[in-house]
Structure 1
Amino acid sequence: MPTRDKTIEPNHNNVGKAKIALQIDSLNVYFGEGHDRFQAVKDVSISVAEGGSFGLVGESGSGKSTVLRAISGLVTDWDGVIDVDGEHINKKREMSYCRTIQMVFQDPYASLHPRHSIDRTLSEPLRLHKFDNIDDRVNQALIDVGLGTSFRFRYPHQLSGGQRQRVAIARALMLEPVILLLDEPTSALDVSVQAEILNLLSDIRKNRKLTYILVTHDLAVVAHMCDEIAVMSHGKIVEVMDVETMRHSTPKHEYTRELLEASEGYRPEL
């Protein structure tokens, strides 16, 4: 995509300026029609630096996943501005957009077609976008996510939850995107494999120089994965902070403080 000369000063004390990968200004998202129309996201604005990892956190129903769906094109009833790599994005997306942004969904059991082999799941987008060397690309993708080529002709029901999510990550990487949208990528997994998937995602981001936008309700996950965090409540962003502020429990907004306290568990004095 063509780029414009846009820069931001990241909050995490980088000396230089970083190019913006994703800019959202005054995003509003709606569901329903007429009297039943509901505004799920209200005036959301964020900037994500190229190569950065930005977290959206909040309780269920806060609108954080809806923001990802507007970016990806899965939700079309929205207004505001979405810029990707300096280019304004319309509600109707071109096919080439899939080669810029991909999404990893929460539930690996639902996101993979049960009757499609892993080979078909990974090779189909390559054929649609006319990539060459499909066999080599599929094999390498399986190696990159820690599965290996022996998984290529298996089906989802033959895999564990963690293995399915690795396939979902491989599928998201097939078209060589520059931005990954991660919607609660570990919340449906056993605790024993959550850390493995998070470490895999961290390694992939570093090796491929990707930009991440991560949605989660788990503050430990954003502390591990993200540079900056936006806290959402009732469809609005109430605070944006760097990860160090969150780790030291020094937010400015009362809701953020309550969220941090809730994540620490029961406190007798309260």
Structure 2
Amino acid sequence: MSQPEIQIEGLEVFFGDGPERTRVVHGIDLNVAQGESYGLVGESGSGKSTVLRALVGLVPDWHGTMSVGGESLQRLGRSKEFYRRVQMVFQDPYASLHPRQTVDRVLSETLALHGIKDGVDARIDRLLEQVGLGGGFRFRYPHQLSGGQRQRVAIARALAPEPKVLLLDEPTSALDVSVQAEILNLLSDLRSEFGLTYLMVSHDLGVIGHMCDRVAVMQTGEIVETLEVDAMRKLDAQHPYTRHLLDSALRSAGHEGMGEAQRSAG
């Protein structure tokens, strides 16, 4: 395996203060190699999205060690270099774009934020092409876009500083099934083209099976099993909770594929 891009050891995350302070992630370890696509799967409330939020500095109360690209992360704040290296794509494309900003303004402000001032027009056109949107979308507002088009804009914004790592927090769960497949294929193509590393959260085993090389299964804030996706597809799981998730996926989707998105995107 190549050099680790993301390293997490003994991560504990807490919510609340005083007597209300609660530990929601319980000492997890994981390593994601450069260029790998790694999945975190589990039911709602398992702590998987909290891990991403801790990585990007949105959750201040954590203990343990985390590093990305060899940079050790502190509890408060992240460097400018970190935010050029690491970008996040959120679940809801409706909430992640400012309703009164055109696509052009969203992308131009992102480039300016990262100190990119040269060739902005060409960069914006290239970003839109990379995510499958033409120049005709450049001066549209979010309400003029479909859900899938909004998520493509969100992905373009994430690509603007030319990151090495994308953190994907349920990036297709708010979209129609047919659109999910398009976005998953886009993300697969971008990873291949730019050598990106993905850490992806999903409750959908079909999405993880299509996108990821390895998967960590989370239950109540703990990683209960880590396995290769090929083993997951063969139902070769050891932990009872993993087997429960697999059984649930098979009951809902039929044995030929875990998740409609996987069948459509395959």
Coarse TM-score class (shorter-chain normalised): over 0.9
The unaligned stretches of length 5 or more in structure 1 are 1-16
* RMSD value, Cα: 1.1
Aligned to 1:248: 234
Aligned to 1:130: 115
Aligned to 2:155: 169
* Secondary structure in structure 2 of the residue aligned to 1:108: coil
* Distance verdict in 2 for CA 1:191–1:95, change over 3 Å: same
Question: What is the CA–CA distance in structure 1 between the aligned matches of 2:252 and 2:42, rounded to whole Å?
Answer: 18
| Equivalent of 1:43 in 27, 33, 37 | 27
Displacement after TM superposition at 1:266 (Å): 6.1
Aligned to 1:150: 136
Aligned to 2:225: 239
Aligned to 1:113: 98
Question: What is the CA–CA distance in structure 1 between the aligned matches of 2:200 and 2:44, rounded to whole Å?
Answer: 15
The unaligned stretches of length 5 or more in structure 2 are 254-266
* Secondary structure in structure 2 of the residue aligned to 1:221: helix
* Distance verdict in 2 for CA 1:266–1:107, change over 3 Å: closer
Question: What is the CA–CA distance in structure 2 between the aligned matches of 1:189 and 1:215, rounded to whole Å?
Answer: 15
* Distance verdict in 2 for CA 1:266–1:187, change over 3 Å: closer
Aligned to 1:211: 197
Aligned to 2:174: 188
Question: What is the CA–CA distance in structure 2 between the aligned matches of 1:153 and 1:44, rounded to whole Å?
Answer: 44
2:20 maps to a residue whose letter is D
Displacement after TM superposition at 1:38 (Å): 1.1
Aligned to 2:126: 140
| Equivalent of 1:199 in 185, 188, 195 | 185
Paired residues for 1:17-28 under 5 Å: 17-28=1-12
Spell out, residue by residue over 1:184-230, the C-alpha distance to the aligned partner (whole angstroms, 9 max, x if none).
00000011111000000000000000000000000000110000000
Displacement after TM superposition at 1:87 (Å): 2.0
Q: How many residues align?
A: 251
Question: What is the CA–CA distance in structure 2 between the aligned matches of 1:119 and 1:153, rounded to whole Å?
Answer: 6
Spell out, residue by residue over 1:110-154, the C-alpha distance to the aligned partner (whole angstroms, 9 max, x if none).
000101110111111211222121111111000100011110010
Aligned to 2:262: none
Question: What is the CA–CA distance in structure 1 between the aligned matches of 2:78 and 2:36, rounded to whole Å?
Answer: 24
Structure 1 residue 104 corresponds to structure 2 residue 89? yes
TM-score by length of 1: 0.91
Question: What is the CA–CA distance in structure 2 between the aligned matches of 1:96 and 1:118, rounded to whole Å?
Answer: 25
Aligned to 1:61: 45
Question: What is the CA–CA distance in structure 2 between the aligned matches of 1:118 and 1:143, rounded to whole Å?
Answer: 13
Aligned to 1:4: none
Question: What is the CA–CA distance in structure 1 between the aligned matches of 2:252 and 2:207, rounded to whole Å?
Answer: 20
Question: What is the CA–CA distance in structure 2 between the aligned matches of 1:112 and 1:128, rounded to whole Å?
Answer: 16
* Secondary structure in structure 2 of the residue aligned to 1:109: coil
Question: What is the CA–CA distance in structure 2 between the aligned matches of 1:212 and 1:266, rounded to whole Å?
Answer: 27
| Equivalent of 1:52 in 12, 33, 36 | 36
Displacement after TM superposition at 1:173 (Å): 0.3
| Equivalent of 1:86 in 63, 70, 80 | 70
Superposed structure 1 runs of 4+ greater than 4 Å apart: none
Aligned to 1:76: 60
* Distance verdict in 2 for CA 1:174–1:266, change over 3 Å: closer
